[in-house]
Structure 1
Amino acid sequence: MGASEESVRDLLAANLRRARIERGLSLSELSRRSKIGKATLSQLEGGSGNPTIETVFSLSRALEVPISDLLDQPRGNGLTVVRSADVQVLSGAGIDLRPLRGIESGDAIVDVYDQQVRAGSRQDSLGHVGTEHTVVQAGRLVVRVDDREVELGPGDYIGFDARLPHGYTALAGPVRSVLLLQYRTDQRLHGTRTQPPCLVETP
């Protein structure tokens, strides 16, 4: 079942505060680095904030940690089934992300997301930790990485250094894709691997 909005906020609050302290940053310095208001950061650490994709990506970039380090919960063993209906959506300006699974193999960690780019919408990112992989399932997608643009169709793949500024634009209708965020284990803030949780749905 999907985690409740309140429990997800509690996870983010605890993880954000721990990450900030471990990085030796004040709220003011994190605000400067992430370009997120100090009052907003205080709310997030207090468990009363309502994060968007843009907020989480900015925090990941500023703290230099994987997104799943900010939004994690314990992972079970054995068979894992994730139902789309049970996963709350993290929405941004142009996309909706559903976290499905975290996979660890050797010194690599891959977080798997169902990604939907809304019709006629564009989602931009200034960059964040990790390597980004996208496989288009349906629709036409324009991916911009730094100053390059590539158009993808069903079955096409793109991979790039996620630290570079990048963006997604849906052409002539919505785009359904699988997003994989790959990290090195030494980039993790915590020693124990956890599964990305259901994220907070934004209005």
Structure 2
Amino acid sequence: MSVSEGSVRNMLAANLKRARNERGLSISELSRRSKIGKATLSQLESGAGNPTIETVFSLSRVLEVPISDLLDARPTSGLTVVRAEQQEVLSGEGVDLRQLQRIESGDTVFEVFDQQVRADCRQDSLGHVGTEHTIVQAGRLRVQVDGQEVELGPGDYVGFDASLPHSYTASGAAVRSVLLLQYRADQRLHLADTPPTQQE
């Protein structure tokens, strides 16, 4: 992989500090709201932590910002080619995500992810900001949203309010899919260019 393993950690460290300070939250208060330990948050803010999907989605939910505001996606200009092997993988209990692009159009923002649900694994989410869209490319995917469950096959699509509790489960073999997260532009956190100050 040509991207350094620490780059996601470094981007998250800088953006998390800015997002937390812009929201006026201490590390203690963010810890209380996200149910992530203070020591873990301090490690993440120093670039020493090991972020997981669960951690990033929990921070996105509590800070009410898109995932890309924490992971610092690149802007689009001209021809954009993103090679899968050059993107770092953000892993969770059952899912591996590669962030490919953020697309801004008018007052709508889309984040595009290559998503793989590992064989016979389940990924749970308590919910986060935005609307979630998933298109299955290969495999059988069970999607549960707020108590409702559907099974999808190749070519099938599901969309839902991402603030609701939801889960993805691979039925047997691994599932490949495209995940689109959709936000209103006013849900984005406009991160300052100035270095953040840390509150404890």
TM-score w.r.t. structure 2 length? 0.92
The match for 1:197 is none
The match for 1:38 is 38
Is the 8 Å Cα contact of residues 2 and 88 (structure 1) preserved in structure 2? no
Is the 8 Å Cα contact of residues 18 and 191 (structure 2) preserved in structure 1? no
CA distances 1:97-139 after superposition (whole Å, capped 9, x unpaired) = 0111111111000000010101100000000011000000111
Q: Distance in 2 between matches of 1:88 and 1:124?
A: 21
* 1:173 partner SS: coil
Is the 8 Å Cα contact of residues 140 and 153 (structure 2) preserved in structure 1? yes
Q: Distance in 2 between matches of 1:74 and 1:2?
A: 16
CA distances 1:149-197 after superposition (whole Å, capped 9, x unpaired) = 01111111000000000000001211110000001110000279xxxxx
Is the 8 Å Cα contact of residues 121 and 170 (structure 2) preserved in structure 1? yes
Q: Distance in 2 between matches of 1:108 and 1:6?
A: 30
How far off is 1:6 after superposition?
2.5
The match for 2:195 is none
Is the 8 Å Cα contact of residues 11 and 73 (structure 1) preserved in structure 2? no
The match for 1:55 is 55
The match for 1:199 is none
The match for 1:154 is 154
Q: Relative contact order, CA 8 A, sep 6+: which one is greater?
A: 1
> What root-mean-square deviation, in Å, do the aligned CA atoms of Structure 1 and Structure 2 show?
1.5
Counterpart amino acid of residue 18 in structure 1:
R
* 1:25 partner SS: coil
Q: Distance in 2 between matches of 1:2 and 1:182?
A: 28
Mark the runs of 5 or more structure 2 residues left unpaired by the alignment.
Answer: 193-200
Residue 96 in structure 1 maps to residue 96 in structure 2: yes
Residue 132 in structure 1 maps to residue 103 in structure 2: no
* 1:70 partner SS: helix
The match for 1:6 is 6
Mark the runs of 5 or more structure 1 residues left unpaired by the alignment.
Answer: 193-203
CA distances 1:47-102 after superposition (whole Å, capped 9, x unpaired) = 11110000000000111111110010543521100111111111100011011111
